[in-house]
């Protein structure tokens, strides 16, 4: 749940954690697949990981000390 007055740093931290969880789920799901479906699931996991890296970078920009 997103609280209306939540600060940017907290929102980014929550987004990062959500993306990390989604990445794990996509990779776990890929183990049950084969062929093109497995490749698609792994590609989705990679896109999620890249988004997580971008959110982490934004979080670093918000709080360079943290």
Is 9:62 a contact under the CB 8 Å cutoff? yes
What pLDDT is recorded for position 4? 86
7-43 pLDDT, tens digit each: 999 999 999 999 999 999 999 999 999 999 999 999 9
Buried (b) or exposed (e) across 5-29, using 16+ Cβ within 10 A?
eeeeeebbbebbeebeebbeebbee
Query: Is it the case that residue 2 has pLDDT exceeding 70?
Result: yes
Query: Is it the case that residue 55 has pLDDT exceeding 70?
Result: yes
Query: Is it the case that residue 66 has pLDDT exceeding 80?
Result: no
């Amino acid at each position: 749940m997103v609280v209306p007055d939540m600060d940017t740093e907290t929102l980014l931290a929550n987004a990062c954690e959500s993306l990390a969880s989604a990445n794990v789920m996509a990779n776990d799901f890929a183990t049950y697949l084969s062929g093109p479906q497995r490749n698609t699931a792994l590609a989705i996991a990679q896109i999620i990981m890249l988004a997580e890296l971008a959110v982490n970078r934004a979080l670093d920009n918000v709080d360079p000390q943290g």
